[in-house]
Chains A and B, each alone.
Chain A
Amino acid sequence: MSRHSKMLLVALAVIVIAGLIIIPMNFNRYGLYILSQWAVMTIAAMGLNLTLGYAGQVSLAQGAFVGIGAYGAAILTTHGWPLISALGLVIVVCFIVGWLLGYPALRVQHHYLAFVTLAFSTLAFLVFRNESWLTNGIYGLSNIPRPEIFGFPTRKPLPFYYLCLGSLGLVTLAMWWLIRSPWGRAFMALRENPIRAQSLGIDTRRYTLMAFAIGSVLGGIAGVLYAPLTQYVDPVPFNLQLSLDLLMMVIVGGSGFMFGPFLGAMIAVLLPEWLRFAEGYYLMLYAAAVIVLLIYSPSGILGILDRYLSSRRTQAASALRAAAQSKLEAAR
């Protein structure tokens, strides 16, 4: 990437971050709630993007991990635990459960793996709904407190939105670092050609399990933020539909692209709000928009940009080759 392109990207990032900080200051409660939800769902979708987009392992269980995180935070914080401690415990639990869920991926792939993870998702939902002694069943858990961060209360919508945005920022940095590390390269090798990856010394078993574990942890972190955001959790939001929504966010945004989940979550969370003027037709419009997008670009929104940049690179390389050829002929 040229220096000019890097500068442009940095400038764009600064503008977007400044916009995300400043513009919502004028938003009402509902606007801030929707934006916070976008930040939370982006974190969960980033986890699925790691498992599916980078490491190539299909999962329909991401919604269950958001549920584990949300219930973990709800149960612990209503019993007096600080949110940060609840977060620590949720991370450990989701890592272990995600690691264990990865084992079937060592034996089955594609739609078979999708069914295994779907079964886990159903199992988690049944636990949330039926184990009333822990989750209060269909009545759910309410009065979930919002935390104080370094002495600053986040009870009001704007501070809580900043907490969600800050968490998204930290998760994004961690993911960027992970994807650029040798692990990121190994995840991509696992997705593109596991047999060749093995022959290069890549322990595909460990990387598969790690992709599931880390992806699940991000789902759990999203859940930990979800509980104090809604201040009430019940089983319904964590059924299979959430896993399918998260899958759609990853695919629509651009699977295997760092910022795909940002766009995907924006479309899944914000587009229905923008289409409310269409009243009863909004879901139909929304579905049609998604279908058209995926027909035009199966690799999602960022896939369109990637194709455009690739074609520009190819054109530039062809022009260079042609120029070099004509110079060579002139010299002869």
Chain B
Amino acid sequence: MTAVLDVRDVKKSFGGITAVNGVSFDVQEGEILGLIGPNGCGKSTLFNCILGQLVPSAGEVRVDGKLVTGQRPSDLNRLGVSRTFQLLQVFPKLSVRDNLILAGQEHRGSMLSRLFGPSDAGLTTTADQMIGFFKLEHLANEPAGGLSYGQQKLLDAAMAFMGGPRLVLLDEPAGGVNPTMLGDLKERLIAINRERRATFVVIEHNMEFVMSRVMVMAEGKVLAIGKPDEIRANPAVIEAYLGH
């Protein structure tokens, strides 16, 4: 079976510093792969190489078998690859509903047809469903900038799913979220994973976050990859996190 995401020997250097050094892994449909590692180990750089924000110095990235190395983020998104960011990235002046419509509109028709089509790109119903799914109904018309941090995290995650993606890369979705809100977020993500067979790659230090497999990075390389229990017991991983 073709992997949803296949990363082969990806390298990324900045001058004399190699941030990502020959990383290879794949992710199968419906899987939730956790990506962990000490600060500065190259996780976010790897994400940016996969998502087209950075062009890898070497290596290949394939989505559903199609070579996408160096493609622009907007093209990748239209191929069904979506993401969230470590820091909040909602559009504060737009309402919650408009944020969601914006997140889905580029998947509807061509640029020209969107200009002459309905102002909501026919997405109000879908946006309202997503608002309901993420339990944000009472905030639908509020400007996103007025929401609490946790609510904005939920909105940020909801936006990643408006285009009906096959693969979602989540960068520390639990960061700074209170336990109640985190419970909501986990529940929603698991539901989307099961109901829509969406595949996730998650940068998350909290291993309680539901993961089918975990990949550990250190100094730009893959240190270990396996089930969460195996990773917890792996001496090399413990050493990378705690030092000698």
Contacts and interface: CB of A to CB of B under 8 A. Distances in A.
26 contacts: A181-B115, A182-B102, A182-B108, A182-B114, A182-B115, A182-B117, A182-B121, A186-B102, A186-B105, A195-B73, A195-B89, A196-B89, A198-B72, A198-B73, A199-B51, A199-B74, A199-B83, A200-B74, A200-B103, A200-B106, A200-B162, A200-B163, A201-B106, A201-B107, A203-B106, A205-B72
Contacts of A206: 111
Interface in B44-76: 51, 53, 72-74
Nearest to B165: A201
Given A181-B119, A182-B114, A185-B105, A201 B91 contact: no
B114 A200 contact: no
Contacts of A198: 53, 72-74, 77
Summarize B's interface: helix, strand, loop or mixed.
Answer: loop
A186 B106 CA distance: 9
A202 interface: yes
A199 B105 contact: no
A185 B118 CA distance: 13
B93 interface: yes
A28 interface: no
B115 A183 contact: yes
A182 B119 contact: yes
Summarize A's interface: helix, strand, loop or mixed.
Answer: helix
B213 interface: no
Given A196-B89, A198-B74, A199-B77, A185 B111 contact: no
Contact of A189 (B72, B91, B119): B91
Contacts, number: 85
Contacts of B89: 193, 195-196, 199
Interface string A183-197: 101101100110111
B109 to A, nearest CB: 9
B93 A180 contact: no
A155 B78 CA distance: 54
Interface residues of B, number: 35
A198 B72 CA distance: 8
A189 B102 contact: yes
B19 interface: no
B101 interface: yes
Interface string B82-126: 110100011111100010011101111001001101010100000
Interface in A161-197: 178, 180-183, 185-186, 188-189, 192-193, 195-197
B218 interface: no
Contacts of A239: none
A201 B93 contact: no
A35 B223 CA distance: 72
A199 B73 contact: yes
Contacts of B108: 182
List of 10 A-B pairs having minimum Cβ-Cβ separation, nearest first:
A201-B106, A201-B77, A196-B89, A198-B73, A182-B114, A182-B105, A180-B119, A182-B121, A198-B74, A203-B74
